[in-house]
Chain A
């Protein structure tokens, strides 16, 4: 049988068995609605608040500052639209970067289309490693700037931004600072206080928790408008019956990730670097996308000259290896990734991109197998390609 190797942890992770065990009782026995008065409801309420406090502790936040949502996409929408709408009478300039997740960029596009009064957006460029220069943000801050929203670690190339410095600048200038930590939470330490963060997005299914649950940290005293109106759950900021089992699972996943963080991040960094070094030495015309050091412990992103990414992914799949690409051919609009263009790649260079993202079940022998198979695949595709040197 084909040995399956999953190297797409940045897209989705399997749920940790310990998480499933923690969730299970809340499907049948503890199924109550946390808004009900009876004992079923109260039990759900209790475990909801426990979960909230576990996640708050992991961020060095207060439990009341955590709002549960359904996804990182929702959290980012809530942060950006919610904050801008709450400030619509005064001012409405937002600063973000060219390498944000689509849900941030499209939320901004929506606000532009809606003709929200005073609304304006500036997008900060990045260098060839995908790094933002905090000085550029300082320069871009205007009198009417309300919010700066910068992704903590990029989902494609894994580059980690100097969040603390950016936050410091924002606070000096009296501007709110939001960061999308969907890829970084649980993998690298985050402290919302020492890192000067006012709003933060975190997601469960990127860290061995269930899909369909995420959260937004909103610092006490910051007003945002809800996107959903209804029964007033989550302090009125997110009406919807509470998804208790998923939230319990999320909290358990946070607990496990923080318990294992030091060990796992060291282990995965070592494997990542072995993979990077192996690919760059074994394959001519291969390059690393993103920063060599300032990157997530589990992210490796390459590009290969003269071949196309979807073809690489599908050939890897035939060998049992799951990976991902941001090539134009694999995108619904047939456009190259905005992140790869932002780091200065030409469209044809972005064409041959490949992301391999590791996780806690990745073994050294998996990396060895990739290093054995990938060079053959690239060679074969180059044999088929008209371009070769």
Chain B
């Protein structure tokens, strides 16, 4: 059911864990199956002085596909400019995994969404301009996140 690539990323996921003092966090959840993904970014500058994602890490509570897509998204996002990273979509993620079963496509959307949310979080914290597209996306994801957070409130302890 899963490709070799998916299983490789699932068995040895890249970039999992927290980033200490991240510049942005994206928390998303899947309201259908209940999976949760948290993604952390650290922003730096490249040689030309443009802002890039220096480090990207994830934490995922979910299925094989959810873990594999998290791993791929963090790989793809590293070193990209903020705009480039925001444009990473599920098709790119799925392509990198050599395909996903149709019922598991929503897991890859979750990963791309988590990245976009982390970037949104960074931009808004730093009072930077945010494209309307990203704002709209954030609105939708924020609503879903609230449903998910309510569901998992027993499991999350505020630090």
Contact = CB atoms under 8 A, between A and B. Distances in A.
A86 interface: no
A328 interface: yes
Given A332-B103, A348-B155, A384 B13 contact: yes
Contacts of A269: none
A308 B35 contact: yes
Residue in B59, B63, B103, B157 whose Cβ sees the most chain A Cβ within 10 Å? B63
A214 B59 CA distance: 46
B63 A348 contact: no
Contacts of B27: 386
Given A306-B61, A308-B63, A311-B64, A328 B34 contact: yes
A311 B67 contact: yes
B17 A383 contact: yes
A306 B67 CA distance: 14
Given A334-B33, A383-B16, A389 B157 contact: yes
B152 A385 contact: no
Contact of A386 (B2, B13, B60): B60
Contacts, number: 69
B139 interface: no
Nearest to B38: A386
B33 A329 contact: yes
B59 A385 contact: yes
B63 A330 contact: yes
Interface string A328-357: 111010101000000000111001000000
Interface in B46-60: 59-60
A128 to B, nearest CB: 17
A311 B36 contact: no
Nearest to A330: B63
Q: How large is the interface on B (under 10, 10 to 19, 20 to 34, 35 or more residues)?
A: 20 to 34
B63 A384 contact: no
B78 to A, nearest CB: 18
A155 to B, nearest CB: 22
Given A308-B61, A308-B63, A329-B63, A384 B34 contact: no
Nearest to A331: B33
B120 interface: no
Nearest to B13: A384
B62 interface: yes
Interface of A: 305-308, 310-311, 314-315, 318, 327-330, 332, 334, 336, 346-348, 351, 383-387, 389
Given A307-B61, A386-B36, A386-B37, 4 more contacts: A308-B66, A314-B10, A348-B151, A387-B156
Shortest Cβ-Cβ A-B pairs, 8 listed: A329-B63, A386-B59, A310-B63, A386-B38, A328-B33, A334-B33, A385-B61, A387-B155
